[in-house]
A = this chain, B = another copy of it.
Amino acid sequence: MEKTIHMVYEELKSFLKDEQVTMNETILQQHSKDESYHSPQTPDMVVYPESNEQVISIVKIANAHQIPIIPFGVGSSLEGHVIPYDKGITIDFTLMNKIIEVRERDFLVKVQPGVTRLQLNKELKKYGLFFSVDPGADATLGGMAATNASGTTSVRYGVMRDQVRDLEIILPDGECIHTGNLAQKSSSGYNLNSLFVGSEGTLGCITELTLRVYGIPEHIVAGRASFPTVEDAVEAVVSILQAGIPIARVELVDELSIKQTNTYSETDYLEQPTLFLEFHGNEAGLNHDVAFTKEIVADHGCQEIQFEEDNAARNKLWDSRHHLAYAFIHSHKTKKQMVTDVCVPITELAGAIKHARQTIDSLGLYGGLLGHVGDGNYHAIVMIDLNDPIEVEKSEQLNQAIVEYALERGGTCTGEHGVGVGKMKYQQREHGKALQVMEKIKLALDPNEIMNPHKLIHSKRRGQ
C-alpha cells in the first residue's frame, strides 16, 4: 500500500505545483478532524487543486489505484464527515474560492466550492442581494451543499437544497456532469441536484455551484421574547406559524444557554427560556406582523419582549446566538462538544425538548438546548471529557435517547448536520428498506467506493 501511495504522490506531482500536494505532518493533522468529538485520523496526503481539470486528474488517478478521496472545505462539519478513516487523498478546495458570476437580475450566483458564506455575502451586498443559508460557522458553500446545511433562516428561505440550481460534479470515474440548469424550476429527468446535495462527498466532488440568492429585505426587525418555560416558548412558535406570520428566524435558547451567552457575549438578557425572532418585509406589513406576534407571545405567558430595528443591536443579538456553541466550549476548555441534531414535526417539539432536558439531567450531564424551532429542529449541546469513558458513554446514551424519541414520532436523526460517521448507526432504523435503494445508487455511481468511504452509507471496502 505504501508503494501505491508513493506512486500516486509522484503522479500527482507531475501536474500539480509543489505546494499543491503535501504529506507534511502538520497539514495532515489539520485535515484529520472536523469540529466534532469524533476521533481524528490523518489522510495519506492533501492536495489543493486550482481548477476542475486538476480535480478530474486527481480523481482519475485515485480511482485507478482505488485510493479513497475525501473532499474538504474548512472542516466545520459536525459529524466527522471529513475524517479519512480509510486514509487516502484529502482534496482541500481552499484554492478554488472564486465567485465566478453574479447574475443580479436572475437572483443567481455561480461560485467555486471553496467560497465561504461570509465571502459570498460580502460580495452580494454590493448588489443589494444576500445568500440566505446561515449555519453559524463560516463554512464553504461546497461543504454546505455536501451536508445540506441550513440554520437560522431556513424557516423562511429553505435549506441548502432549496438554493442549489446546479452543481458541477466530478464523478468517481472522472466524468464531469451538471446536475441542473439556470431555470427556476425543471421537470426534466431525475432530479440530480437534490441527490448530490447532502450526499456528503460520497458520490463525487463538487467543483462549481449555481445558487439562488435573494434581495436584501426592505426592512428587518429582530427581537427577544422570554418565557417561563421552554414549552411555553415552543407553543408560542406553533401559534405564530399557525397565524401565517412569515417569520424569517425563530430560535429557541434555553435558560442554561442564555446564562452561557450572558457570560461569553457580555449581554444582560433575562435568564429565562428565550426566543430570538426576526421578521423581513416592508415596513407596514412588518409592523403588523410584530404587533400580531406580541399578542400571540403574550397569550403564551411571555414575560418580556424587546424588538431591535437598528443594525448594531440586531447584529449583537445574532452574534450572541451564533457564538453560543463557542460560549460552551470557552467555559469548558478541557472538554469536547457533542451536539445532537434531530428534527421532529413541530407539534412534537415541546415534548422532545422536555424529554431531552430530563435525559440530560438524569444522566448528570452538563448541556444546553437550543434550536431552529420554526423547523422543529433542535440541538442539545453537551460538554464531555473524552478521557472519561463514563461521560462518553452517557453522551452516547443521550444522543441515542434523543434520536429514538424523534424517530418514534416521524422525525429524523439529523435535521442539518448530516450523517457523517456519527449518525451511521441510525440509518437502518430511520430508512428501513430505503437504505438499500441508497446503497444501490452508491454502488451504481461509485463501484470502487473511493468517494469518502464509511460516511453516510456502509462501504464494503476494508473497514474503518
Contact = CB atoms under 8 A, between A and B. Distances in A.
Nearest to A79: B187
A332 interface: no
Contacts of A106: 345-347
Given A347-B106, A441-B441, A427 B188 contact: yes
Interface stretch (A286-294, A300-308, A312-320): A286-294
Contacts of A411: 181-183
B107 A192 contact: no
A250 to B, nearest CB: 12
Interface in A356-411: 374-377, 406, 409-411
A433 B218 CA distance: 42
A421 to B, nearest CB: 14
A177 interface: yes
A217 B375 CA distance: 20
Contacts of A108: 345
A453 interface: no
A191 B183 contact: no
Interface in A54-79: none
A177 B437 contact: yes
A122 interface: no
A173 B105 CA distance: 47
A243 B281 CA distance: 11
A148 B187 contact: yes
Interface string A426-463: 11001111111110111111000000000011000000
Contacts of A287: 284
A158 B430 CA distance: 27
Contact of A415 (B187, B190, B215, B443): B187
A178 B430 CA distance: 10
Given A171-B437, A430-B181, A186 B415 contact: yes
A434 to B, nearest CB: 4
Q: What is the interface residue range for chain A against chain B?
A: 35 or more
Contacts of A436: 175
B215 A185 contact: no
A144 to B, nearest CB: 11
A103 interface: yes
A258 interface: no
A261 interface: no
A301 B108 CA distance: 27
B188 A413 contact: yes
A243 B107 CA distance: 12
Contact of A244 (B215, B244, B343): B215
B187 A191 contact: no
A311 to B, nearest CB: 18
A91 B292 CA distance: 49
Contacts of A374: 184
A202 B195 CA distance: 17
B344 A183 contact: yes
Nearest to A427: B189
A53 to B, nearest CB: 16
A26 interface: no
B191 A218 contact: no
A187 B345 contact: no
A228 interface: no
20 contacts: A106-B346, A106-B347, A182-B409, A183-B345, A183-B406, A183-B410, A185-B377, A187-B418, A188-B412, A189-B434, A189-B457, A190-B195, A190-B441, A191-B198, A215-B244, A281-B285, A283-B288, A285-B289, A441-B441, A443-B444
**3 smallest beta-carbon distances between A and B, as pairs:** A285-B285, A194-B194, A182-B410
Interface of A: 103, 105-108, 147-150, 154, 158-159, 161-162, 171, 175-179, 181-195, 197-199, 214-218, 238, 241-244, 246, 281-289, 292, 343-347, 374-377, 406, 409-419, 423, 426-427, 430-438, 440-445, 456-457
Given A190-B438, A285-B285, A441-B444, 8 more contacts: A103-B347, A149-B187, A178-B431, A192-B438, A194-B194, A217-B244, A246-B246, A285-B286
